[in-house]
Structure 1
Amino acid sequence: MQTKLSGSPAPTASSSRTSSAYKFARDLLAKAGIGMDGEQPWDMILKDARVPERALAEGNLGLGEAYMNGEWDAGKLDEFFARLLRSGVADMVNPAALLFHAVKAKFVNLQTKSRSWQVGEQHYDLGNDFYEQMLDSRMTYTCGYWKDAENLEQAQTAKLDLICRKLNLQPGQRVLDIGCGWGSFMSYAAEHYGVECVGVTISREQCDWAKQRYPDLPLEFRLQDYRDINEQFDHIVSVGMFEHVGRKNHRVYMETAHRCLKDDGLFLLHTIGKNRRHSTPDPWIDKYIFPNGDLPSIGQMGDAMDGLFVAEDLHNFGADYDKTLMAWCSNFERAWPQFAEKMGERFWRMWRYYLLSCAGAFRARDIQLWQWVLSKKGVLGGYERVS
């Protein structure tokens, strides 16, 4: 799909080839095997002369907004980002404009109880009809498990079953799902393993949809902040929610899980993670996709669970998120005609940039997907790993 966004005339790309910003960006991208003339599918196609200067000054915030405005393009945006991030050249650009984001993330609690609802309203409440077209039949908005899967539906079912087997669920057990989304795990676990589930979410639309979808299963959906839970469960699961907790609240989150887990229970924590402790949340993702998001590092998670949990197992299948995101993007683009008039071309470019840039980041192994299995006192005789 090609789009042209209206606006004031801008300098053409051809007029910028002598600028220092263009030359610096060209030489930087060349180290990643990326051109600026569109000859390769992952090359940039410049439509506005100001893009290199803005990207160098503002990082991914400027680059992403320029893409949303139609000021540049790439045939394979996912591969553009995979090559850019894998090469490490993005680390050579450290715009002063990002200092504010770094300071804010370090010293300000962006995920207080009052602020925690923002991501639900901005992202998860976009419309259930929209997500129904992009996701699998259970509305599973987290990484699929593609080990033996051939399509998105199989990958998501395999992931849900993997979680159930890792927890060794037994009929009649009561399970807490922190950040339950549209209830994909809860419904699967109840149907196939005979458990009862309580799920909490900060998305009103998710909560209402799940209640209507599963009225006959032993499931309870609550519109509630995780910090307000104060009852015990046989097991706890949290799939794709910890990314919203924030480093200032990691310890409180772990203390909540510890308080709510029975002594012989297991806690499965499924989260995207970053490779470095000292890094800044992406300002474009924060502004347009997941407000107040903050990917954890293994070190930060270790600090948070120190003295509370024994790490029984850590499973990284981050490369599978690449396949998941590409499948979501394919579904999104196929269904787009029914949303185009309502959402507009700028949303189309924003959402495509989100899905494909993240796919590229996972492909480059710049970010990871971890499943932790945690116990309070250690599993007697040892935990038997499931894959």
Structure 2
Amino acid sequence: MAPPPPAALATNPDAPKAPGSVPRPSFDNPARQLVADLLASADIQVNGDRPWDMQLHDPAVLDRALAQGNLGLGESYMAGAWDCGQLDGFFDRLLRAHLDRRVKPVRLAWHALQVKLRNRQDRSRAWQVGKAHYDLGNDFYESMLDPSMAYSCGYWRDAETLEEAQVAKLELICRKLGLQPGMRVLDIGCGWGSFMAHAARHHGVECVGVTVSREQAAWARERHAGLPLEIRLQDYRELDERFDRIVSVGMFEHVGHKNHRQYMEVAARCLGDGGLFLLHTIGKNRRDGMPDRWIDKHIFPNGETPSIGQIGDAIDGLLVAEDLHNFGADYDPTLMAWYNNFEAAWPRFADRLGETFRRKWRYYLLSCAGAFRARELQLWQWVLSKEGMAGGYRRPE
């Protein structure tokens, strides 16, 4: 069965519903009028009556959006200054119209300069994302993710549920790597161990996984205690041992362009002769695209999605690209499933996390769903070898 159609948008039950048709607003402030006109060009009305229209509670939101881009828009949403019945539809339209490229806030120039010049993912900072994001609480992630705790894009080609899509993704990786019993496999950024557990149970391999999250490591060690898995709290740069296969699922987004080459050098030195390395990563369409300031500040500190060209530069002369598979559109239904789980479970976490966190997490999941639906973001699986496979590589279906 095909994945849920993009038209199946998420509805925020808390957002006020505007009665009837609302005329296009007019602002005396030229800057606010400019933002309203830009939104209108993307088929988004301020105080319109459609689910993806913006319901404005404070006109200053438009000033912040113009001055700070998505940082101002997102923080205003977190503060309750505006609402939208279908944030995913709002961002799908906004990004398809490339409004993010048409608004260039001067205040974000310093952020862009830091990204370009500074190594924000060096060893001293590599652990920040673990503490800030992945250590939020294993019970929280258990309520949002599938039973395997896979926190990356599912594969929906023949799946009807989130669990089926994640199992299909894990099995697809195993088949692409040609896993055989007795192989030793490295998982760089192993998370809660979903891939390693699946590979060990169904393909008879032994796995070593590294993570920068203490919560993930503790959960995985307890949950998978009976399997041949070794889970380490370790920076990937410290790895220096041989493996038959290497996999990295949803971790390369935390490496940063200044470390791409070193990351691939680590993979090359750890990959045994004749081995394969599967890299599963979100990707951006433009090499010069900057990390989103709101995501960087509130969700994934120091994160940076790579472009195809940047990955190509990183593997140049080190590894051979045997296969490149894009199923980025499948991240839309994955994120929508996470969102639905999150909203259903929210009463259990409301007192602990608070309403500002709820709005932040809603904005995170639904803005990302809109970005993948608009094809502004991609999901790639690269299969890499050291010298090129004799006779070539054939992708399993």
Name the TM-score, length of structure 2 as normaliser. 0.94
Q: Which position in structure 1 is the counterpart of 2:87?
A: 77
- Alignment partners' CA distance in 2, 1:181 and 1:89: 34
Which residue of 252, 261, 276 corresponds with 1:251? 261
Matched, 1:92 2:94: no
C-alpha contact (below 8 Å) 2:26/2:33 kept by paired residues: no
Residue 177 of structure 1, aligned match among 187, 195, 199: 187
State the Cα deviation string for residues 358-387 of structure 1 (Å, max 9, x = none). 000000000100000000000100101123
Q: Is the 8 A contact 2:239 2:270 kept in 1?
A: yes
What is the aligned counterpart of 1:232 among 233, 242, 263? 242
Which of residues 316, 335, 340 is equivalent to 2:326?
A: 316
Q: Secondary structure at the match of 1:355?
A: helix
In 2, the alpha carbon distance for the partners of 1:334 and 1:62 equals 28
Q: Distance in 1 between matches of 2:15 and 2:99?
A: 29
Partner of residue 347, structure 1: 357
* SS of residue paired to 2:200: helix
Moved more, 25-34 or 263-272: 25-34
Aligned counterpart, 1:188: 198
Counterpart Cα distance in 2 of 1:148 and 1:100: 45
What aligned pairs does 1:38-53 form with structure 2 within 5 A after superposition? 38-53=48-63
RMSD over aligned CA atoms reads 1.3
User: Are the counterparts in 2 of residues 102 and 279 from structure 1 also a CA contact under 8 Å?
Assistant: no
Is 1:276 matched with 2:277? no
Please show how residues 19-58 of structure 1 align to structure 2 within 5 Å. 19-58=29-68
The CA distance in 1 between the partners of 2:104 and 2:396, in whole Å, is 41
| C-alpha distance in 2 between matches for 1:121 and 1:38 | 40
| Structure 1 residue 290 displacement after superposition | 0.2
What is the CA distance between 1:21 and its match in structure 2?
Answer: 2.1
**C-alpha distance in 1, partners of 2:255/2:73?**
27
Number of equivalenced pairs: 378
In the alignment, the residues of structure 2 paired with residue 58 and residue 113 of structure 1 have an alpha-carbon distance, to the nearest angstrom, of 29
What is the percentage of aligned positions where both structures have the same residue? Answer: 67
Residues 127-163 of structure 1: per-residue CA shift (max 9 Å, x gap): 0000000000010000000000001000000000000
Tell me which residue corresponds to 2:14: 2
2:121 aligns to what?
Answer: 111
Q: Distance in 2 between matches of 1:174 and 1:276?
A: 36
What letter is aligned with 1:233?
A: F
The ranges of structure 1 where at least 4 consecutive aligned residues each deviate by more than 2 angstroms after the TM superposition are 1-4, 14-18
- Partner Cα separation in structure 1 for residue 299 and residue 26 of structure 2: 31
Residue number in structure 2 paired with 1:63: 73
Q: Give the corresponding residue for 2:163.
A: 153
Distance across 1 between alignment mates of 2:307 and 2:165 = 25
Question: What is the TM-score with the length of structure 1 in the denominator?
Answer: 0.96
How far 1:315 moved relative to its partner?
0.2
**How far off its partner does 1:49 sit?**
1.3
Query: Tell me, which stretches of 5 or more residues in structure 1 are unaligned?
Result: 5-13
